[in-house]
Amino acid sequence: MLNVAVASGYFAVKSQMMPVSNNSEAQKIRFEVPYGTPVLKIISSLKEHGLIKNEKLFYASIKYPQLLKFFFPSAQIPQADFKSGTYYLSPAMDYTELLSILSSGQQEYIHVSIPEGLTISKIAALLEENGICSKDDFVKVCHEPSILAEYSIPSDSCEGFLFPDTYFLNSGMQAESVIRIMLDNFSSKIHEIPAAANMSEQDLFDLVTLASIVEREYRVKEEAPLIASVFKNRLKQNIGLYSCATIEYILTEIQGREHPKVILIEDTKIDNPYNTYKWAGLPPGPISNPGLTALNACFNTPKTNYYFFQIVDPAAGRHVFTSTFDQHVSNHNLYTK
């Protein structure tokens, strides 16, 4: 009777450790492990997703690997060390398979594309939307003095230095890790531009600031260098840049208003150092995070006599470039911006 009871208990326990499904083609389930999730919460989530039968036995298998060896003597017992990420798990997997995958770190990456010209706040919102990290944490770390000092950014934020690209990230990452990936990418990309070599921190910052404006002004790639030339010519003559993009930045990022359909005359009179209609020279810092087209346009700007540009094809985003104010005014009959 004792042997029968022992055998019965053995098979009862082992049955609880067997896969939930016997169907080897059972549909896999997307399973997320956010960064810093406690083991017990992960186990509870496995049960909720129908991936294990018994939470206590699964925990015991982690704590006492010899238990798995006893019930599955021929199996390769993995070292349980859960890593954050997104995995695809099947209810047909046994304990050893689940432990092996969750400890492998070979998770599904989340592809996040950061378009050129986004601001810190918009990047933060996009990352939170994709489950990467908290929007508030991202914005906060972007203003962290230690990060700015480490990456030699002479500003109060990382604005302008978060390189727009497609990133392969994990769910629940720390904001600082994401920011470092973007800043390292910027450093790598900027080294692809020979003109940026041996440039001082301030000179680099000034050109990134200019590139952030060019990024928000051009739509046709080949016009970016010409727009940069207009702005550089105006800077040399201490003429205001008169960039609508800087007004948009004030309205949306500083004042927190909705993106304007049009820039009004009164908007150009706002008393703010980012207002390039009111003040000559560059604004205090970047107004967006520029890509390589805008950066190259500002680091390798052609010499022109242009001081003005006016949109002539709003659908295509094309401009006409002129050297004198009279020419610029005469172009207003082409299209009124």
DSSP secondary structure of 209-221: HHHHHHHHH--SG
Query: What percentage of the chain carries pLDDT values higher than 70?
Result: 93
- Across all residues in the chain, what is the average pLDDT? 89
Mean pLDDT calculated for residue range 24-31: 83
Residue with tokens 């659908």: 315
**In what helix (H) or strand (E) does residue 31 lie, and over which residues does it extend?**
strand 29-33
Is residue 182 within 8 Å of residue 112, measured between CB atoms? no
- Provide the β-strand partners of residue 89: 29
Q: Given a cut of 70, is residue 325 above it in pLDDT?
A: no
| Radius of gyration for the alpha carbons in the chain, expressed in angstroms and rounded | 29
d(C-alpha 13, C-alpha 54), whole Å: 10
- Dihedrals phi, psi of 335, to nearest 5 degrees: -165, 135
Q: Given a cut of 90, is residue 211 above it in pLDDT?
A: yes
- Provide the β-strand partners of residue 308: 322
Strands 110-113 and 29-33: unpaired
Q: Given a cut of 90, is residue 313 above it in pLDDT?
A: no
Q: Where are the alpha helices (DSSP H) in the chain?
A: 2-17, 39-48, 55-63, 65-71, 95-104, 120-129, 135-142, 145-150, 175-190, 201-217, 224-236, 244-249, 292-299, 325-330
d(C-alpha 126, C-alpha 164), whole Å: 12
**Is 32 strand, coil or helix?**
strand
Q: Which two tokens stand for residue 133?
A: 């990290």
Q: Measured over all CA atoms, what is the biggest interatomic distance in the chain, rounded to whole angstroms?
A: 107
Q: pLDDT by residue (tens digit) across 76-97?
A: 787 788 888 788 899 999 888 8
Phi-psi region of 117 (alpha: psi -120 to 50; beta: other; left: phi over 0): left
Residue with tokens 């049955």: 15
Q: Given a cut of 80, is residue 334 above it in pLDDT?
A: no
pLDDT for residue 91: 92
d(C-alpha 286, C-alpha 120), whole Å: 10
- Dihedrals phi, psi of 106, to nearest 5 degrees: -90, 60
d(C-alpha 53, C-alpha 18), whole Å: 8
d(C-alpha 160, C-alpha 106), whole Å: 32
**Is 37 strand, coil or helix?**
coil
Residue 331's pLDDT band (boundaries 50, 70, 90)?
A: low
Q: Which two tokens stand for residue 245?
A: 């993009």
What's the whole-model pTM score? Answer: 0.73
Mean pLDDT calculated for residue range 250-276: 93
Mean pLDDT calculated for residue range 320-337: 60
d(C-alpha 97, C-alpha 113), whole Å: 32
Identity of the amino acid at 187: S
Distance of CA 293 to the CA centre of its chain: 19
